[in-house]
Amino acid sequence: MARITVVGSLNLDMVMRAERLPMRGETLTGGVFSTAEGGKGGNQAVACARMGASVRMVGKVGNDPFGDRLVESLLREGIHAMVGRSGGHTGVAQVTVFGDDNAIIVAPGANLDLKPWDLQEDHFKDATSAVFQLEIPVDTVSRGLRMARDMGCLTFLNPSPLKPLPDEVIGLVDYLVLNQVELTQLGGTDDPDLSMGRLLGLGVKGVVLTMGSRGARFLSVESSGSVEASRVEVVDSTGAGDAFMGAFAVMISEGHSMEEAVRFGVTAGSLACLKAGAQPSMPTREEVEGAMGRL
């Protein structure tokens, strides 16, 4: 069984479903409101757990009811919640869902209080892999990558939302999973092949370019290829990238090939679009395996 430590953000998502985004200065009525557990870190932790991995989640929430709700939800998923409390408010995301798309504003709050010195060897001890995103401070991610490497873990980074990353930090990553904008920035060119090649040159073992409804492309030291996504009736695409990341990380951690892991990730991402909410929409392993043939 893969043992995965996820270091990252926990947000409560305030979701407004609307026909379209309002224009500047416009008030749009007729929205439908709900809340859901979210945050890229929490979402990826839930995705890994539902794929059958044993998961530790390292993060920070505020001393408030949103924080209680997020921690309780992780525990219900069977995740070992190594979640501290800070003086700031729990992270909140304002998510607008319109058509197949979404637009998100995050107020990170306590997520920014997860500091490098909060990371302990215990967080990574005996883990197969460690998974990071960028909704927490970059210094914390760099230290976490270094600690995870030193402790023999495979390291995964989803550099979202994008922030400048020194090459030596990228060099601590075994598997990078990113979208076109992130690839252009980190790879230094808008040619995906050149950019992916450049990232491998920094020491990354495998790079995956996620392309939403168009699937994903990958390049590793041993292989390259692409996987198409099947067409699905999108209910809510929030968290689809996180579903990909979780499923991909679990498959690689179990020793599967890049192509198998990307195929699994693309299917998990498609399934996550079929349900509302970020964490509530993460598919189980049985659902992904069942859909592999069908979709």
Quick note: the x/- pattern for ligand RIB over 213-242, rule CB under 6 A, is -------------------------xx-xx
Q: Out of 106, 136, 234, 251, point to the residue binding ligand RIB (CB under 6 A).
A: 106
Min dist CB 209 to ligand RIB, Å, is 17
Residues 128-157 that bind ligand RIB (CB under 6 A): 135
Min dist CB 221 to ligand RIB, Å, is 28
CA 107 centroid distance within chain: 17
Peptide bond into 166 cis (omega under 30): no
Q: Is 40 in the site for ligand RIB (CB under 6 A)?
A: yes
| Residue 52, phi then psi, degrees to nearest 5 | 100, 5
Q: Output the furthest CA–CA distance in the chain (Å, rounded).
A: 53
For residue 40, give the nearest of 115, 93, 84, 116 by alpha carbon. Answer: 93
Binding site members for substrate: 11-13, 39-43, 135, 242
Binding site members: 11-13, 39-43, 135, 179, 210-215, 236, 238, 241-242, 272, 275, 277, 281
Cβ atoms 15, 36 nearer than 8 A:
yes
Q: Is 93 in the site for ligand RIB (CB under 6 A)?
A: yes
CB neighbourhood size of 138 (10 A)? 16
Q: What does the chain come to in residues?
A: 295
At residue 199, the 3 state secondary structure works out as helix
Integer Cα distance of 121 and 241 in angstroms = 28
At residue 178, the 3 state secondary structure works out as strand
> How many residues lie near ligand RIB (CB under 6 A)?
16
The letter for the amino acid at 101 is D
Measured from the CB atom, the residue of 41 and 128 that comes closer to ligand RIB is 41
Active site annotation includes 100 = no
Min dist CB 171 to ligand RIB, Å, is 25
Q: Out of 11, 210, 220, 267, point to the residue binding ligand RIB (CB under 6 A).
A: 11
Q: Which residues bind ligand RIB (CB under 6 A)?
A: 9, 11, 13, 38-40, 43, 93, 104, 106, 135, 238-239, 241-242, 278
**What residues are labeled active site?**
242
